[in-house]
């Protein structure tokens, strides 16, 4: 069972999650060897990778903020997952010769400690000109050459233009036009969420789950659909332990394991009234942990752990607000833990005393 990546928009297939006209939500999209993540501030990040037939892994991240006159910045990452004789033989700082469509495009200086380097504005411009037109892009050191795939780039960059409202403008990456960029929507400020302090446990909280288990399970089951929480839906034969944490004098957070897969598990979290009929509100069925007013989720894209998704929900005194959602990119053996941070939800979380 592996639903979180469908919910969170992991780039396992060509998928658009949210493309609302107002762009109050983020967007996640992928096609072939390229993917796009746009967050709720309208900042977009496009990442491309090597093709599956290439042994040396590489990725380029193109970032563009929202609003008129915003340019595109680029970063290059050389992959190193496990033993890699090519990378291990490189010096602490090394230079890569960049070529686009067979033409020299300058050098990129890379530190072995990070294997990430910024691309110059000119180099980014070369990439943007070549990517939509079946271009070849490569970086070489000695006998080693890292090749970036162009497959899917045009679709991803077009989706970026569409999300940011640049189609038909002079600043569009794909469908340029004569329209002035002054018509491009401005960036949206990241929402501010004030994290509320949670109440201290009250006498009886430790025994609450066991004492009212049957009634609690009944109201929790009423909130789930399909197999979102299959372990809870199985009934008494499949009962898993309930955990209760105090939120306020009248609200509790109840959690139980919902599903388990080959290398991930999902914990369900509900806000409930502390008194009958225990009205409940589902927060997520794919959580991983809870601590001091924050529910977090962290899921592997596959067992190798070279790609992840993460989410967090913050208690604001009335509800758990979805305050962060991101992935680390495609499962392309770039690095343990993934290559990039590709958020679709960003917020500013402040403590309640500020």
Domains in the chain: boundaries: 4-183, 192-351
Segment 98-117 shows an average pLDDT of 97
Position 27 confidence tier, pLDDT thresholds 50, 70, 90 = very high
Segment 348-352 shows an average pLDDT of 93
* pLDDT single digits (tens) 248-285: 999 999 999 999 998 999 999 999 999 999 999 999 99
Res 1 pLDDT > 70: no
Bigger pLDDT: 112 vs 84: 112
pLDDT value of residue 6: 32
Res 338 pLDDT > 70: yes
pLDDT value of residue 23: 41
* pLDDT single digits (tens) 208-262: 999 999 999 999 999 999 889 999 988 654 567 999 999 999 999 999 999 999 8
Domain covering 4-183 in this structure, CATH number: 2.60.40
pLDDT value of residue 353: 73
Q: What is the 3-state secondary structure (H, E, C) of the chain?
A: CCCHHHHHCCCCCCCCCCCCCCCCCCEEEEECCEEEEECCCCCEEEEEECCCCCCCCEEEEEEECCCCCCCEEEEEEECCCCCCHHHHCCCCEEEEEEEECCEEEEEEEEECCCCEEEECHHHHHHHHHHHHHCCCEEEEECCEEEEECCCCHHHHHHHHHHHHCCCCECCCCCCCCCECHHHCCCCCCCCEEEECCCCCCCCCHHHHHHHCHHHHHHHHHCCCCCCCCHHHHCCHHHCCCCEEEECCCCEEEEEEEEEECCCCEEEEEEEEECCCCCCEEEEEEEECEEECCEEEEEEECCCCCCCEEEEEEEECCCCEEEEEEEECCCCCCCCCCCCCCEEEECCEEEECCC
pLDDT value of residue 147: 98
Segment 124-145 shows an average pLDDT of 94
* pLDDT single digits (tens) 305-324: 999 999 999 999 999 999 99
pLDDT value of residue 86: 93
Percent of the chain with pLDDT over 70: 92
Res 178 pLDDT > 70: yes
- Contact criterion met (CB below 8 Å) for 126 and 139: no
Segment 34-45 shows an average pLDDT of 98
Segment 295-300 shows an average pLDDT of 97
Computed over every residue of the chain, the mean pLDDT equals 91
Segment 24-52 shows an average pLDDT of 95
pLDDT value of residue 133: 86
pLDDT value of residue 197: 96
pLDDT value of residue 236: 55
Segment 280-306 shows an average pLDDT of 97
């Amino acid at each position: 069972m592996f639903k979180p990546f469908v919910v969170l928009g992991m780039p396992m297939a060509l998928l658009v999650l949210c493309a609302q006209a107002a762009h109050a939500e983020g967007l996640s999209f992928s096609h072939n060897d390229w993917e796009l993540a746009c967050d709720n501030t309208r900042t977009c990040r496009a990442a491309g990778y090597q093709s599956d037939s290439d042994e040396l892994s590489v990725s380029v991240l193109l970032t563009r903020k929202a609003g008129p006159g915003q340019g595109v910045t680029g970063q290059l990452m050389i992959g190193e997952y496990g033993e890699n004789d090519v990378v291990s033989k490189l010096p602490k700082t090394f230079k890569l010769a960049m070529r686009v469509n067979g033409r020299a495009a300058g050098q990129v200086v890379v530190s072995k400690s990070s294997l990430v380097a910024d691309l110059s504005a000119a180099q980014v411009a070369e990439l943007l000109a070549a990517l939509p037109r079946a271009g070849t892009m490569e970086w070489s050191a000695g006998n080693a050459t890292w090749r970036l795939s162009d497959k899917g780039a045009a679709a991803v960059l077009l989706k970026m233009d569409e999300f940011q409202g640049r189609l038909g403008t002079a600043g569009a990456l794909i469908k340029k036009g004569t329209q002035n960029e002054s018509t491009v929507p401005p960036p949206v400020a990241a929402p501010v969420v004030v994290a509320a302090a949670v109440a201290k446990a009250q006498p009886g909280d430790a025994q609450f789950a066991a004492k009212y288990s049957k009634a609690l399970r009944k109201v929790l089951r009423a909130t789930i659909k399909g197999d979102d929480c299959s372990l809870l839906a199985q009934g008494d034969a499949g009962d898993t332990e309930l955990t209760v944490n105090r939120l306020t004098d009248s609200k509790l957070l109840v959690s139980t394991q919902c599903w388990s897969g080959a290398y991930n598990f999902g914990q369900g979290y509900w806000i409930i009234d502390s008194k009958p009929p225990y009205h409940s509100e589902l927060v997520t069925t794919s959580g991983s942990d809870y601590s001091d007013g924050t529910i977090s989720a962290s899921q592997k894209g596959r067992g190798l752990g070279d790609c992840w998704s993460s989410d967090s929900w913050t208690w604001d005194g009335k509800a758990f607000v979805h305050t962060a959602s991101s992935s680390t990119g495609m499962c392309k053996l770039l690095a343990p833990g993934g290559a990039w941070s590709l958020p679709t939800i960003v917020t500013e979380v402040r403590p309640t005393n500020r």
